[in-house]
């Protein structure tokens, strides 16, 4: 017997209005080409023929197992500079206001922000930011970002795992510069902001 295991990106949607459903997928088609679309609602010929025409992979009314999001634990690495030891603890949930933070988000650290954040440092692989407000990151992101704010601005990164309003942002759509990602009329729009990586 031969077996293979795949990593799978799943996008879940509740189907309440056919026209809104089709309009949403028409506007955001590029984001869902490599996803399994899990649809909850009544299966109609119109929706099924639309999905087949767009060659999207989908399932109807299937309860998928859900893994809760938990904080990752990591073994702390030895410090090169003892002065950095005081900076090791991650920031916890902040109240709604703009926070400016010049701190490296290390592997295993999770930053929860209920407001806006300007981060002047990197997000390492294994580090994560979950934010309900606007997010601007001036350095490269190798970890994961989950943003539900009005917009976010960040550099391109092949290693980043980025969700904006629960939609996975394909890293190939972020160019090698600072990018603005926002939701306009139910469409995710990515706009290059600067032509060079360094904008300080």
Per-residue model confidence as pLDDT tens digits over 35-45:
788 899 988 99
Report residue 32's pLDDT band, with 50, 70 and 90 as the boundaries.
Answer: confident
User: In this predicted structure, what is the pLDDT of residue 66?
Assistant: 57
- Check which CATH number belongs to the domain holding 142 and give it: 2.160.20.70
Are 107 and 22 members of one domain? no
Report residue 76's pLDDT band, with 50, 70 and 90 as the boundaries.
Answer: very low
Would you say residue 86 has pLDDT above 60? no
Are 98 and 44 members of one domain? no
Q: Is residue 73 part of a domain?
A: no
Give rounded-to-5 percent helix, strand, coil for the chain.
15, 30, 50
Q: Is residue 51 part of a domain?
A: yes
Sheet containing 187-192: give its strands across: 98-101, 116-119, 135-137, 151-155, 178-184, 187-192
Report residue 6's pLDDT band, with 50, 70 and 90 as the boundaries.
Answer: low
Residue appearing with tokens 């601007």: 136
Q: Report yes or no on whether pTM surpasses 0.85.
A: no
Report residue 185's pLDDT band, with 50, 70 and 90 as the boundaries.
Answer: confident
Mean local confidence (pLDDT), 1-5: 62
Q: How far apart are CA 155 and CA 20, in angstroms?
A: 31
Q: Between 81 and 26, where is the model more confident?
A: 26
Q: Which one-letter DSSP state was computed for residue 90?
A: P
b/e sequence 170-188, b meaning 16+ C-beta within 10 Å: beeebeeebbebbbeeeeb
Pairing relation of β-strands 36-40 and 57-60? parallel
User: In this predicted structure, what is the pLDDT of residue 54?
Assistant: 85
Are 46 and 116 members of one domain? no
Q: Average pLDDT over the chain, rounded to whole?
A: 78
Are 184 and 133 members of one domain? yes
Are 131 and 181 members of one domain? yes
Question: What would the pLDDT profile of 109-168 be if each residue is shown by its tens digit?
Answer: 999 999 999 999 999 998 999 999 999 998 999 999 999 999 999 987 888 889 898 888
- Domain residue limits at 140: 90-192
Q: How far apart are CA 9 and CA 34, in angstroms?
A: 7
The answer to whether the Cα torsion of 104, 106, 109, 112 is positive or negative is: positive
The number of distinct structural domains making up the chain is 2
User: In this predicted structure, what is the pLDDT of residue 103?
Assistant: 92
Contact predicate 189/181, CB 8 Å: yes
Are 181 and 117 members of one domain? yes
Are 122 and 175 members of one domain? yes
User: In this predicted structure, what is the pLDDT of residue 104?
Assistant: 94
């Amino acid at each position: 017997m031969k077996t293979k295991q795949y990593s799978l990106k799943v996008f879940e949607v509740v189907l309440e209005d056919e026209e809104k459903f089709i309009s949403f997928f028409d506007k955001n088609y590029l984001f869902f080409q490599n996803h399994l679309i899990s649809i909850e609602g009544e299966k109609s010929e119109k929706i099924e023929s639309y999905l087949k025409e767009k060659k999207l992979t989908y399932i109807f009314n299937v309860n998928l197992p859900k893994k809760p999001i938990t904080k990752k634990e990591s073994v702390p690495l030895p410090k090169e500079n003892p002065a950095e030891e005081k900076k090791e603890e991650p920031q916890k949930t902040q109240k709604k206001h703009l926070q400016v933070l010049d701190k490296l988000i290390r592997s295993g650290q999770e930053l929860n922000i209920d407001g806006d954040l300007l981060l002047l440092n990197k997000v390492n692989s294994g580090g994560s930011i979950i934010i309900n407000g606007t997010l601007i990151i001036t350095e490269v992101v190798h970890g994961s970002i989950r943003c539900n704010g009005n917009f976010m601005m960040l550099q391109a990164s092949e290693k980043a795992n980025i969700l904006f309003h629960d939609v996975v942002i394909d890293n190939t759509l972020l160019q090698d510069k600072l990018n603005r990602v926002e939701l306009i009329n139910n469409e995710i729009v990515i706009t290059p902001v600067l032509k060079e990586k360094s904008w300080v």
